Structure 1
Amino acid sequence: MVGFKNRYMVMEVFLDPNRDLGVDDPIIITQYNVSKAIKDSVLVNFGECGLASSLGSLQVKFVNPITKLCIIRTSREEYQKVWSAITMVRRIGNCPVLFNLLDLSVSRPVKLLP
């Protein structure tokens, strides 16, 4: 039997308050936008090998566009790499953003039957 251990990160997304309010294209935080920004950051900072090793378990599980909270799952072995890549994300689309880690939790191992 194999056990997969994951880490869940609860992140808060800060949008730039100095952004022009007259812009017709407001940014909407979605799972796709956050996931793409994280994957792009992992690729830029850790290369293709770093991206490939973290893609197996990297998933944006939940995003609330109103409260700007998101839950990100990654493997136990790769969570520090993903966390550091998230802190280096500076833009989602055309909007400057910052990520703040609120909580890092531990999941129980999932047992797979043969």
Structure 2
Amino acid sequence: MVRFKNRWLLVEFIPCTKDEPSYSPSEGINSKHIWSALKDSIIANFGDSGWGAVASSLTVKYFSPMTNLSIIRVARDHHQIAWGAVTLLRTVQGKSYLPNVIHVSGTIKHTQLSAISHNRETVARIRAHSKLPALYRSTIDDYLEKSTKEIEALQD
């Protein structure tokens, strides 16, 4: 029996609007919108043969509107196509984003660890920007606990 081998992309979608800071939640986009934008990017940049290569394996397993963090799964053989499409992606649902590929891994476990670490860093930046006392417990901390549980619950 042959195991299906994947690559996991951890991508942060940084908003490109001047009036909205990068740490505010992205309203209106979700994992389905990201998948659709990726599909359009693959077709535009790699054609139908590129889409045919990744169509059956491309899934967006996780998206957080608070940190704009996404976990994308794709087959190992064609992960460069998905990675290139993410890099060339400029808009999701008509809003400009700068995709930043943070981590690429062969296992979901390493991607989960990287995502949790990135979320902690993002929450620390949000806390520092809001100038809250270090001991203050807020909805940001609640979000961090919730997102950690969601990320850890992801299955291959």
Normalised-by-shorter TM-score class: 0.7 to 0.9
Name the counterpart of 1:43: 43
For residues 55-107 of structure 1, the C-alpha deviation after alignment (integer angstroms, 9 at most, x for no partner) is: 11100000001110000000111111110011111111121111001111113
Alignment pair present for 1:92 and 2:92 = yes
1:2-52 deviation per Cα after TM superposition (whole angstroms, max 9, x unaligned)? 2110000110000113258xxxxx742201110000000000011111101
Q: CA RMSD of the aligned region, Å?
A: 1.9
TM-score when scaled to structure 1? 0.84
Q: Tell me how far apart the structure 2 counterparts of residues 69 and 30 of structure 1 sit (CA, whole Å).
A: 11
Q: C-alpha distance in 1, partners of 2:106/2:7?
A: 5
Letter in 2 for 1:61: K
Taking a change above 3 Å as real, the CA distance of residues 36 and 19 of structure 1, as seen in their structure-2 partners, is: farther
Dislocated runs of 4+, deviation >2 Å: 26-29
- Uncovered stretches (5+) of structure 2, i.e. residues with no partner: 21-25, 109-156
Question: What does 1:27-106 correspond to in 2, within 5 Å?
Answer: 27-106=27-106
Structure 1 alignment gaps of length 5 or more: 21-25, 109-114
**Aligned pair count?**
104
More helix by share: 2
Q: Which has the higher contact order (CA 8 A, sep 6+)?
A: 1
SS of 1:77's equivalent in the other structure is: helix
Counterpart of 1:23? none
1:11 corresponds to = 11
Larger radius of gyration: 2
Task: Give TM-score scaled by structure 2 length.
Answer: 0.62
Distance in structure 1 (CA, Å) of the matches to 2:46 and 2:62: 25
What SS class does the counterpart of residue 57 from structure 1 fall into?
A: coil
Give, in whole Å, the separation in 2 of the partners of 1:89 and 1:27: 19
In proportion to residue count, which structure has more strand? Answer: 1
